[in-house]
Amino acid sequence: MIWFLGKRVLAGIVTLYVLATLVFILARLIGNPVDMLLPPDATPADRDLMIHSLGLDQPMYVQYVQFLVSLLKGDLGQSIKYQAPVVQLYFERLPNTLSLALVAIVVSVVVGFSLGMIAAVFRGSFLDRLSRLLSVIGMSAPSFWVGILLIIVFAVHLGVVPVARMGGPTSYILPGITWGLFLLAGIARLVRSSMIEVLDTEYVKLARIKGVSPFAIVWKHSLRNALLSVVTFIGTQIAFLISGSVAVESVFAWPGIGRLMYDGIVGRDYPLVQGCLLITGFLVIAINLAVDVVYAYIDPRIRVIEGT
């Protein structure tokens, strides 16, 4: 177990190192921040001064080493635009994104499961076709468009929820649905296919022959066995949810991670972009590592195979 754990932690560290290097290189490809930050009539002297104060006059390898050393100290630097520590900016916005993600997950799981099960149980029926249609729309309709549509119908015409902005509980409804729609569609399709597979198995057929009620067959014998792949899917999607959604956060004026990162890219604020990517990457790697460890703990076969 210790060998397995050490190997996974090491792999996590290597992944983080590769990610950090990639982020360092890619962030510098988005352009020189000085030209964006200075006013149009700035003098060459102003430009030189800012380049020096940001340390951009150092050779690239020096900047890289400084970046890695700071990273080891847990210092992700200062945002150029906001002139505040990146870590502080990130964690100021993270709860906003996570709270919205929670709503999106709840919406998508509840509705997605229901749609998928109905489609599987009534395979080939009108309900099945309707469910599949909704899934296709959910996967293909752009969040931006869905968001605007929901605003017009539910906020402007029906007046039951606010148009936008983060505020009381009702403000979470429209962005939560908009963001959850894509995940919802994926869950519905996966539940449907898994359920259909399980419903065709011999033990379910036997249960039917034995006269077990349809309700018990679906809920007790089929759904639980169809759950694993769906849970895995949701797990992977949560990693994406942590990084926020630029489209949803922009349409609903939501102060989350997605928009913070977008502002960083637009403003050539590469410490901010680097920091957001690294923290998000770290969180995803840490979650994956934890899941791997838990799986190995539950199933000894995994650590035996990995250990060889």
Partner 1 sequence: MKTKDITRRHLLRVGGLAGAGLLTSTAAPSFLLGNKAFAAATDTVSGGSSAADRTLRVSVDDFGSEIFDPNITDGKMITLLNPMFDTAFISDDTGLVPGLIEKWEMADDKLSWIFHVRKGVTFHDGSALTGKDVKYSYERSINPEGEEGGAWRGVIGDKPHVELIDDYTVQVFTPKPQPFLPLMSSWDDPFMYIVPMDYIEKNGEDYFKANPIGSGPYKLSKRAAGNYIEYEAVDYPHWSGFVPDFKRVVFYLVPEETTRIQMLQNNEIDEAPLSLDTALQVSGQNGVTTQPNTYAAVWLGFIGSYLPEAKSSPLSNIKFRQALSLAINRQEIIDGYFHGQAKLPPPTRSSLDHAYLPQDIRKKWWDWAANAYRYDPDAAKKLLAEAGYNGAAFEIWSLPDTSAPYDPDLVQLCVGYWAKLGINATTVPVDNGVWRQVRHTSKSLQAVGKAVIQASDYGDPALPVGMNWWTSSNGPGNLLVGAPQQADFDKLYTAAISESDIPKLVQDVDAMYKMSTDSWTAIPLLIGTSLNAYSARVKPVFPPDVQVGKSEPYYFNRWKYTGVEPS
- Which residues of the shown chain bind partner 1 in the complex (CB under 8 A)? 30-32, 35-46, 49-50, 53, 81-83, 89, 92-96, 98-103, 105, 148, 151-152, 155-156, 159, 162-169, 171-172, 231, 238, 250-253, 255-256, 259-260, 268, 294-295, 297-300
Name the residue nearer to partner 1 (CB basis): 16 or 102. 102
257 vs 196: CA distance, rounded Å: 38
Least separation in angstroms between CB 237 and partner 1: 12
**Residues near 165 by beta carbon (within 8 Å), at least 6 away in sequence:** 171, 252, 253, 254
SS3 75: coil
Name the residue nearer to partner 1 (CB basis): 30 or 196. 30
Name the residue nearer to partner 1 (CB basis): 9 or 290. 290
Name the residue nearer to partner 1 (CB basis): 16 or 98. 98
Q: What is the CA radius of gyration of the chain?
A: 24
Torsion angle of the four alpha carbons 274, 279, 280, 285, in this order, in degrees rounded to the nearest 10: 120
**Residues near 217 by beta carbon (within 8 Å), at least 6 away in sequence:** 199, 204, 207, 208
Q: Give the Å distances, CA to CA, from 129 to 20, 99, 177.
A: 46, 33, 22
Least separation in angstroms between CB 301 and partner 1: 12
**Residues near 70 by beta carbon (within 8 Å), at least 6 away in sequence:** 76, 77
Least separation in angstroms between CB 205 and partner 1: 25
SS3 78: strand
Q: What share of the chain is helix, strand, coil (3-state, %, to 5)?
A: 80, 0, 20
Least separation in angstroms between CB 268 and partner 1: 6
Least separation in angstroms between CB 72 and partner 1: 25
223 vs 220: CA distance, rounded Å: 7
* Cβ neighbours, 10 Å, residue 162: 17
Least separation in angstroms between CB 132 and partner 1: 28
Least separation in angstroms between CB 37 and partner 1: 8
Name the residue nearer to partner 1 (CB basis): 92 or 197. 92
SS3 85: strand
Least separation in angstroms between CB 262 and partner 1: 9
Name the residue nearer to partner 1 (CB basis): 200 or 299. 299
168 vs 20: CA distance, rounded Å: 37
> What's phi and psi for 78, nearest 5 deg?
-105, 140
Name the residue nearer to partner 1 (CB basis): 65 or 148. 148
Name the residue nearer to partner 1 (CB basis): 87 or 139. 87
